[in-house]
Structure 1
Amino acid sequence: MRTSPRSLAHEQRHLISLILPLPLADNARVRISTLDLDIPTQAIRASEPSEAIHVCHTGYALGGPKKAYAGLWLGTDRAGNHGTTDPFLSNETVWRLVDGTTGETVTQGRLARVKSGQEPHFDDLNFNGCDIYEADFTRIDQTGDYRIEIENLGASVPFPIAEYPYAEALRLAARWYFHQRSGCAISQKHGEGRTRPRNGHPADGLDVWQTDTRLGRTSEGFSRQPYASEVLRKQKRDRTNPDAWGGWHDAGDWDRRVQHMDAIYRMAAVVEMFPSSHRLDLNIPESGKTFSAPEIEARKGAEDRGDGKTVLPDLIHEALWGISLWRRTQGSDGSIIGGVEYSVDGIEGSVSWNPVQRAYAYGPEEWAAYRFATAAAKLGHVIAKTCGDRTLGNALVKEAVAAWDWAEAQFEAGSAQDSERALSRVTRARLRAAAPLYRASGHAGARAIFEAHNPFQPLSETGSLGTRPGDFPYPAYDYVLAGTEGRAVDLVISGAIRNWAATWRSHSERIGRDYGLNNTAQYGWGLGWFRFGPGSNWRAAEAGLSWFVTGGDPAPIRDMVIEGLWFALGCNPSNTSFIQGLGKRDFADPLTLDLRGFGPVPGQISFGVAGGEMRGFEKRKLEGTLHPADQKDWPRYAQIFESSRAVLCAEHGMKSNAMEWLFACAFAAELMNGEEGG
């Protein structure tokens, strides 16, 4: 909380670890006194939760893996010496699975060390700062409430074993996009405890000033400079764009950017790949309705009504809301704007339905048009072919073609020659769009571009301007699917893509067995990986494509995907759920400007682990709250700083961890045969 214009006070949680000269018996009573701390006599019991024992808070699937983990970095003493639980744990330490109702031991075993504190995760660094041990109770096949007890350590928080304990995680992952909508009200009926007035809508008096600034060429696009808000604030305010509403807030702020097309594409892919997702009931205004229903506000105009009879899956309705801003603002020539940006973030007291800031619309650019074409083509194809509304689906595909043709005209005229970086990023967006557009429309030009420059064909392994297969695997696989649906394809290219996709999941090493994580040991983009990494289960997308291509026994992939959910659901060093409403201890202070002063919203996701070194303003705002004070003295996985002032922990991204988490939850539901998942 702010205590003065330039001062902040933080609620703090301290873990104080004491090393005693003698062991304590169960139910021993201890009194701790210091000069400035007096703790009343307490009984210490084996059943008391220990911060050093880590489990998935939502529980474990009856037919899936079940593992708990033990081990904790305990911080430093006054002399700067690091403490850990290593002296108290070994492969001889006994664990017990205890029935939460009867208190009886169901099974027991000895811990197994699965990750040494001396074994690096990356670049000679161990992210735990201690040894990590595992208790594997996968063989238990009885539902119920349980806890893990470990001698000399204590117990875990209670957890269930259930038929499918991750169903609510999927529902909330998708509903978070509803809570991030711009341009609609959130009613009591659909808010499930939260209400919010309509926001970001020109009809309520918000002027969205149209500019010529190209999003891609700013700090919020693919360029590092200039800073987007500063450029926009210098623009003339002589024309508004009354159609620039809809879409989703970018993260903790209210901006809507064309990069969200990635999430729209991925939602369409989920519906195409996982039939169980069709049954997902999100309790949104569009649930159970056709696109022509009166409640539908995502239409771009009165004639945009679909076939009037096909009930669309809720996830498709949400994707249609996400893309609605760009459909409404598409130019008659096919041009696509970059989105909407507010003049400044973080003004105290300003809310999205009554902002102090000015709102600006970015201008059209080829990079934005290619990104729109990718998502609109995919979404349109899935709506037409998978969902059955050919009228709406074909309309989206037509819009994608118009955006592509406009972008191609700009590109051929040299629009991307302003810098090497611009040429590279625009080219990547162009290649990403080509295969989905060809699959959906049969566009000959898109096919020619993809075949000439794709990174899969043996004769062009590096692709155009250094693109790699991993840059856009799902859109590239649309080329293979085009061939299966009767489009003409080059069989050499198609075969190369299929073979690569089939083995994609084997290209990476498992990062370390700890906490059930299944993430790559190679992440060349540095600590920014944590924005996707342990809390998002992003490896599930790679496994998903491989499984979609090859089929076969789902058990190995099922276990990988399910275990990958655990870290975000409390099985981490902080024993904190990064998803609001799904943990015994939720991330305390997630960053969302509209929610300051309000309670948490179930489904809100946070990065959790710091995505790199905190910036100067974050360090200043957290001064005096961390011990040790230097972030570099904390092991990487321990850097879960639960404060909205630690933006690198407390924020999220609609196309990063929120998107990857949604896909992982949907994939887990499908692999568990989805009866309860949808």
Structure 2
Amino acid sequence: METIKRQGIAVNQLGYRGMDAKIAVIRGEGGNFRIVDASSGSKVWEGEAGPLEWDEASGETVSRGDFTSFRQSGTYRIESGSGESSYPFVIADSVYEEAHRAMLKAFYFFRCGMELEERCAGPWTHGPCHLTPAIVYGDEEKRVDAYGGWHDAGDYGKYVGPGAKAVADLLLAEELYPQAFARPLGIPESGGAMPDVLQECRYELEWMLRMQDGETGGAYHKLTTLRFPPGDTMPEDDTADLYVSPVSATATGCFAAVMAMAARRYRPYDEVFAASCLSAAERAWAWLEAHPDYPGFKNPPTIATGEYGDAQDADERYWAAAELYRTTGEARYHAAIEPLANAAETSGLYELGWANMSGYGTIAYLFAEREKAPELEARLKEGLLRKADELAAVCAKDGYGISLQPEQYIWGSNMLVMNHAMLLLLADRISGGTHYEQHALRHVHYLFGTNTVGMSYVTGYGAAPILFPHHRPSEGDGVEAPIPGLVSGGPNRGLQDDYAREHLAGKAPAASFADVMESYSTNEVAIYWNSPAVFALSRFV
């Protein structure tokens, strides 16, 4: 395994736009620091770092070197008075464009059911996979031909709830920041009138449509084999029997919501597809109404793949009602929103993770150009801005400028980091200001190297990117470099795999990370970790 030396000064290894705030984190010292030209080593700017402060999450004493006022385009390093240095970085207004495109194109590399050809995939090709009809668990005579869609993560499972989150993030990004998606991605569908981001999401949405039970309108929870294959198995070599797990309220609520959302976003490009999405959403809503107290999903006894269990479904129902109301304006959906919001409130109305989708319901209602209940609208807006203020307050105290408390370095902590960036940007949109934008940008800086590990958590980007993600195609394809644009799960204080238990015990929460394939609880990748990162970068490209 290649070892990358951690530098004494952490920076965004991609770089910074000229007018943006720019802050380096200097470990263990304050005092003067300087910017030097990366080629010549000559000093071009000098500043004074802030005071030394203890950072609980990283377990380090750090100071911040603010060089916001330096805006000259070029490639540089930061050096401290004691000779510590940063990795090189660029100052340029286009600094995020290629990483943004790669993180979006990563969804093409997650595609199931088709050959990835060299003309689009470069060296990271593989054959068509998982094309056999799936057995409906508990009804061995029934088959579902649910080919296509995206592999969920480092494995080859496909899950409706996490897929819905990923699509929702991308559709929101396309709605709010269309300029970020103007350039073609180089996917098979590139070149048409429809933006490539919508083409890519459609590939997942069409799979979801196949996951709707034709008899009841409910959505099957997931499609997987009974257990995961070995870590170096390529998709086309994963030939075990496929199973769809039973219908769940969680999946059906997510399905109804994202299909209603899709009906809006695709209508200008394909009215027939948009209408099919809305019809599917309405059938799923009818299932939800007919099953108000459905038990939470648990893995069937012989299925050992990712569960994505959820004990309560008020958040998914709330999201579904809000999206259907935003799309249709029908009073029956509006009437359902407030009771569902009240039911979901105990677990929070501003979360954007697969385990709590309520934040998407709140955003859908606040963004809806429909008649609203004034008290509910005011309550939701006030609550979202209060949540953003709470995140901003954590950012101000955190040594690396992000909004995670030490206990929030969990499995997929980088999803939380980027979800928080997304929420901060949405709060700006709701409030009509830019108060939270710089806090969101610090989360982007963290992802690309301004972190205690000193690595870029995105494959292929930065001077010290992760090299060994827990991702079966990257492990088994014989190509030295991993597929580019994949977002690692990041530090996890829970020590939830054997490698982490052996090598990371005793480390600070933000340092509990290992760039090895074996550490799936810190270094796996997932579609719903990439998607909020794409959203956040869309604001800055």
Give the TM-score, by structure 2 length.
0.88
Compared with structure 1, are the counterparts of its residues 246 and 591 closer, same or farther at alpha carbon in structure 2 (3 Å cutoff)?
A: same
Aligned with residue 193 of structure 1, among 113, 123, 144: 123
Asked if 1:404 is matched to 2:285, the reply is yes
CA contact (8 A) 2:22 2:66 kept: yes
Aligned with residue 517 of structure 1, among 383, 388, 401: 401
Compared with structure 1, are the counterparts of its residues 495 and 641 closer, same or farther at alpha carbon in structure 2 (3 Å cutoff)?
A: same
Shift of 1:100: 2.4
Asked if 1:209 is matched to 2:139, the reply is no
What letter corresponds to residue 56 of structure 1 in structure 2? N
- How many pairs were matched up? 520
Compared with structure 1, are the counterparts of its residues 164 and 434 closer, same or farther at alpha carbon in structure 2 (3 Å cutoff)?
A: same
Aligned with residue 360 of structure 2, among 474, 482, 486: 474
Shift of 1:139: 0.8
Shift of 1:333: 4.0
Question: Counterpart of 1:146?
Answer: 76
Shift of 1:643: 1.0
Question: Counterpart of 1:427?
Answer: 314
Larger of the two Rg values belongs to structure: 1
Question: Counterpart of 2:512?
Answer: 639
SS for the counterpart of 2:284 is helix
SS for the counterpart of 2:288 is helix
CA contact (8 A) 2:314 2:340 kept: no
Unpaired runs of 5+ residues, structure 2, are: 299-307, 352-357
Unpaired runs of 5+ residues, structure 1, are: 1-10, 16-49, 72-85, 118-125, 213-235, 290-310, 456-462, 670-676
Shift of 1:376: 0.5
What letter corresponds to residue 320 of structure 1 in structure 2? R
SS for the counterpart of 1:108 is strand
Please give the per-residue CA displacement for 1:587-625, whole angstroms capped at 9, x wherever unaligned. Answer: 13111112224331111221231252233x3357xx5xx
Please give the per-residue CA displacement for 1:460-518, whole angstroms capped at 9, x wherever unaligned. Answer: xxx35835322413322322443x2xx44322222322333344411332245556432
Shift of 1:650: 1.1
Question: Counterpart of 1:578?
Answer: 457
Using the alignment, how far apart are the partners of 2:309 and 2:333 within structure 1?
A: 20
SS for the counterpart of 1:397 is helix
Question: Counterpart of 1:501?
Answer: 384
Shift of 1:196: 1.4
Question: Counterpart of 2:522?
Answer: 649
Aligned with residue 336 of structure 2, among 432, 449, 453: 449
What letter corresponds to residue 519 of structure 1 in structure 2? S
Please give the per-residue CA displacement for 1:521-548, whole angstroms capped at 9, x wherever unaligned. Answer: 486x673472524xx4332121122122
Compared with structure 1, are the counterparts of its residues 561 and 14 closer, same or farther at alpha carbon in structure 2 (3 Å cutoff)?
A: closer
Using the alignment, how far apart are the partners of 2:72 and 2:51 within structure 1?
A: 26
Question: Counterpart of 2:108?
Answer: 178
Shift of 1:101: 3.4
Question: Counterpart of 1:374?
Answer: 257
Please give the per-residue CA displacement for 1:239-264, whole angstroms capped at 9, x wherever unaligned. Answer: 432x2111111110000011111111
CA contact (8 A) 1:474 1:545 kept: no
Question: Counterpart of 1:107?
Answer: 45
Please give the per-residue CA displacement for 1:178-224, whole angstroms capped at 9, x wherever unaligned. Answer: 1111112211121133211112223xxxx422224xxxxxxxxxxxx
SS for the counterpart of 2:526 is coil
Question: Counterpart of 2:302?
Answer: none
Compared with structure 1, are the counterparts of its residues 652 and 63 closer, same or farther at alpha carbon in structure 2 (3 Å cutoff)?
A: same
Using the alignment, how far apart are the partners of 2:406 and 2:492 within structure 1?
A: 18
Please give the per-residue CA displacement for 1:107-134, whole angstroms capped at 9, x wherever unaligned. Answer: 11232235325xxxxxxxx122221122
What letter corresponds to residue 506 of structure 2 in structure 1? D
Asked if 1:537 is matched to 2:424, the reply is no
Question: Counterpart of 1:160?
Answer: 90
Aligned with residue 326 of structure 1, among 203, 208, 217: 208
Larger displacement relative to structure 2 (275-284 or 572-581): 275-284
What letter corresponds to residue 364 of structure 2 in structure 1? D
Shift of 1:581: 0.9
Question: Counterpart of 2:19?
Answer: 63
Please give the per-residue CA displacement for 1:316-372, whole angstroms capped at 9, x wherever unaligned. Answer: 111111122121242154232122111221426532112143211123233322110
What letter corresponds to residue 518 of structure 1 in structure 2? I
Question: Counterpart of 2:32?
Answer: 94
Using the alignment, how far apart are the partners of 2:53 and 2:57 within structure 1?
A: 10
Shift of 1:417: 8.8
SS for the counterpart of 1:238 is strand
Using the alignment, how far apart are the partners of 2:296 and 2:104 within structure 1?
A: 39
CA contact (8 A) 2:220 2:247 kept: yes
Shift of 1:638: 2.2
Shift of 1:402: 1.1
Compared with structure 1, are the counterparts of its residues 60 and 588 closer, same or farther at alpha carbon in structure 2 (3 Å cutoff)?
A: same
Please give the per-residue CA displacement for 1:615-664, whole angstroms capped at 9, x wherever unaligned. Answer: 3x3357xx5xx4xxxx3322222222111111111102322x22221211
Q: Aligned-residue CA RMSD in angstroms?
A: 2.7
Compared with structure 1, are the counterparts of its residues 348 and 396 closer, same or farther at alpha carbon in structure 2 (3 Å cutoff)?
A: closer
What letter corresponds to residue 13 of structure 1 in structure 2? T
Compared with structure 1, are the counterparts of its residues 475 and 562 closer, same or farther at alpha carbon in structure 2 (3 Å cutoff)?
A: same
